[in-house]
Amino acid sequence: MKAPRNLWVFGAGGHGMVVAETAMESGLKVSGFLDDDEGKWGSTVLGLPVSGGRSVVRQGDRVILGIGDNNRRREAGEWLDKTGVSLLTVRSRWAMVSISAVVGDGVVMIGPVVVNAAARIGKGVILNTASTVDHECVISDYVHIAPGVNLAGNVTVGQNSFIGIGAKVIPGIKIGKDCAIGAGCVIVRDVKDGSRVV
């Protein structure tokens, strides 16, 4: 008889805690945390063990990405892909996701997120607390949409970009890859790859 598969949250920091609670509230049984920081090994977070680092992962385990930093989350996700471990998508019970939306692996939706018709959400994306993604938006892999962000219809966000807390983006805007949009910004024109907007 096979041992039950473990379900790990990769990342034992603040974002990882939120992700773990979201998973548990949605009915998933979390085995514990993994973290690359050896200083956290053997500790507990939310009453769950930080069981170690990557060497703990076994074939058949499932992992939820709990890392807020886009570069670190992408690197962890790509490593997990190579090992053949399943990346789980976690959706808050309060999230509203259109039946025509397409959501990739390893996505986390926290709190009352809204994803509207024909939106496409890439792999490893964070849709943080109360963010909204309107119709036909395309959110590329490993993007972080911070709490309270509102993306109007037909917005495109390139890979690895960060949209800061409370930012607003008007319809049809294209934000390039590796961009950082500051908190509270209102984006009314396209943003080139690698740009910082404050």
Binding positions for substrate are 35-36, 68
135 given a catalytic annotation: yes
For the sheet containing 86-87, what is the strand order?
32-34, 7-10, 62-65, 86-87
Amino acid at 67: I
Q: Find out whether 67 and 15 touch, Cβ atoms under 8 Å.
A: yes
Helix (H) or strand (E) run with residue 121 in it: strand 120-121
Q: Which of 5, 62, 135, 177 is catalytic?
A: 135
Closest CA to 163 of 130, 197, 136, 192: 197
Query: Which residues does the annotation place in the binding site?
Result: 35-36, 68, 144, 165
d(CA 145, CA 131): 7
Q: Find out whether 31 and 54 touch, Cβ atoms under 8 Å.
A: no
R_g over Cα of the chain: 17
Amino acid at 36: D
Distances (CA, A) of 193 to 93, 137, 156, 169, 178: 34, 18, 12, 16, 6
Active site residues: 135
